Amino acid sequence: IAQSTALPIILYNVPSRTGLELTTGALYPLAQVENIVAIKEASADVSKLENKMSEFKDAFYFYSGCDELILPAYSLGSHGVISAAANVIPREISTLCALFEGNKVKEATSLALELAPIIRELFAEVNPIPVKCALNLMGMCENELRLPLTPSSRREQIKKILQL
């Protein structure tokens, strides 16, 4: 697929959705494809991210795909986050990234800990169910989901955590 376009490609490693892990062995041939430029690492395992980053730091940019691991990923040298929570709390996620990138690690850590309950709630069910529910509560979209997804059973908890 990457060889059929000149566009830059980001690989997504999201085992919780695919049931498969993008292993380091699979990355070796992909690192040779010029326009595969980055990886969204959403395995939720910092040691896997560390292993891949140490092996392929010169081949790919790395982005955290787990909102709860933004700071650990940054501390290993990731280039940012591809965030689901940013759909709901964009200013806060942007500020968190800017603080870390500005070497304000203590402030970034404090904000990450403050955001942790919201992020946990946004992932208490299969994504995008809680995110869509939160956006609906905020008046930003309808709460329509395609099957097999169903509306959130945690609507009141989401409303409470977002103080709506």
**pLDDT of 23-41, one tens digit each?**
999 999 999 999 999 999 9
Q: Which residues pair with 10 in a beta bridge?
A: 38
Sign of CA dihedral 84, 88, 94, 99: negative
Q: pLDDT band for position 110 (50/70/90)?
A: very high
Q: pLDDT band for position 59 (50/70/90)?
A: very high
Q: pLDDT tens-digit profile of 78-95?
A: 999 999 999 999 999 999
Q: pLDDT band for position 132 (50/70/90)?
A: very high
Q: pLDDT band for position 108 (50/70/90)?
A: very high
Residues catalogued as catalytic: 12, 40
- Is 137:162 a contact under the CB 8 Å cutoff? yes
- Distance, in Å, from the CA atom of 66 to the CA atom of 55, rounded to the nearest integer, reads 20
- Flag whether pLDDT at 113 surpasses 80: yes
Q: SS3 sequence, 63-101?
A: EECCHHHHHHHHHHCCCCECCCHHHCCHHHHHHHHHHHH
Q: pLDDT tens-digit profile of 119-131?
A: 999 999 988 999 9
- Distance, in Å, from the CA atom of 54 to the CA atom of 48, rounded to the nearest integer, reads 10
pTM over 0.85: yes
The continuous run of DSSP H or E covering 13 comes out as strand 9-13
- Distance, in Å, from the CA atom of 147 to the CA atom of 53, rounded to the nearest integer, reads 36
